Amino acid sequence: MFINRPRILRASPAIRSMVQETSLLPQQLIVPLFIVEGENLQEEISSLPGYFRRSLDRTLDEAAVVYDLGIRSVLLFVKCPDERKDNRGTEALRADGLMQRAIRAIRQQVPGLLVMTDVALDPYSSYGHDGIVSGEEIVNDATVDVLARMAVSHAEAGAQFVAPSDMMDGRIGGIRRALEKAGHHQTGIMSYSAKYASCFYGPFRDALDSAPGFGDKKTYQMDPANRREAIKEVLLDVEEGADIVMIKPALSYLDIIREVRNEVTVPVSAYQVSGEYAMIKAAAQKGWVNEEQAILETTLSIRRAGADLIATYFAKELVRLCR
């Protein structure tokens, strides 16, 4: 007669910690930072309670704090003033634009930190779209040209990784070729490979004032109903030269994270997006879920699903919780 008692492995904190299959380390986290023009500014984002937009000087302080916690990378987003938005990404390409200045300053002040940058047109677009607009169309190839120039401009400023979040066809190849041509052989590409047309980006669009002015993003971001299409997008990006592939959002797409993890050999990251953060914050504020446990449970599940890296607004709290 065989007797099996699985609860033996759950009997005490000691044994539970010994047999824990998944863990979370500070260096597996990526911290999104929102930067605005100005000085000594730190504005709370109303739909992201406890999260801030900061001017560059305050961003540098934050980057140092993040580094001291053991986190090794930040993902930069900038807010572009309305009067500088257009349909060509002019502001995005300026060598002394806010993004380019931020990259240089962070590289100089916190040299150990890996600087990743968002490459997409929506914060700079008068239409709030991730590409150049013609009539009702988001034009693919002309957008890829601008994104490639944007990536080169970020690399020139010192970004070690560019992170295209636009979902245009062929942009990874376009960016890789442009980086090579400009002599940036060491710049990494973290591709938002499977990015879904999700309601969970709402608070982020508030943060950057980047909501689409007409229509939606369904002609470029993916249909939440689709699974095989995610694999197709990821494999194309790897072929075109992506170093890291990303799935976004995270919690509603754990199955996609797992399938992608099984399919490719490159590191897989997942973005726990603004709406995922906001939901936990709101429920915790109401006293309906325990915030710390919700943070740990969701991020551990993202890791368990197969993500090597997680971009999350909870990164700092997580480091403290995992100590």
Determine, following the binding rule CB under 6 A, whether residue 233 of this chain makes contact with ligand PBG.
no
Determine, following the binding rule CB under 6 A, whether residue 220 of this chain makes contact with ligand PBG.
no
The gap between the terminal CA atoms of the chain, to the nearest Å, is: 43
- Nearest CA-CA partner of 35 in 80, 96, 94, 90: 80
Determine, following the binding rule CB under 6 A, whether residue 312 of this chain makes contact with ligand PBG.
no
State which residue, 100 or 272, has the beta carbon closest to ligand PBG: 272
Show the tokens assigned to 159.
């970004």
| Span from 99-107, 133-141, 183-191, 197-205 in contact with ligand PBG (CB under 6 A) | 197-205
Q: How far apart are CA 220 and CA 222, in angstroms?
A: 6
- Nearest CA-CA partner of 160 in 190, 180, 181, 130: 190
Eight-state DSSP code of residue 125: B
Sign of CA dihedral 113, 119, 120, 125: positive
Determine, following the binding rule CB under 6 A, whether residue 165 of this chain makes contact with ligand PBG.
yes
| Span from 86-94, 100-108, 116-124, 253-261 in contact with ligand PBG (CB under 6 A) | 116-124
Residue with tokens 């609860």: 7
Q: How far apart are CA 323 and CA 311, in angstroms?
A: 19
State which residue, 105 or 163, has the beta carbon closest to ligand PBG: 163
State which residue, 118 or 240, has the beta carbon closest to ligand PBG: 118
User: Could you say which of 79, 85, 217, 248 is catalytic?
Assistant: 248
Quick check: is 79 catalytic? no
Report the residue from 91, 122, 233, 240 that binds ligand PBG according to the rule CB under 6 A: 122
Q: How far apart are CA 173 and CA 154, in angstroms?
A: 17
Q: How many residues bind ligand PBG (CB under 6 A)?
A: 11
Residue with tokens 């070729």: 177
Determine, following the binding rule CB under 6 A, whether residue 274 of this chain makes contact with ligand PBG.
yes
Determine, following the binding rule CB under 6 A, whether residue 118 of this chain makes contact with ligand PBG.
yes
State which residue, 166 or 259, has the beta carbon closest to ligand PBG: 166
β-pair partners for 30:
73, 311
Quick check: is 195 catalytic? yes
Query: Which residues would be at the binding site for ligand PBG (CB under 6 A)?
Result: 118, 120, 122, 130, 165-166, 201, 204-205, 273-274
Residues known to be catalytic: 195, 248
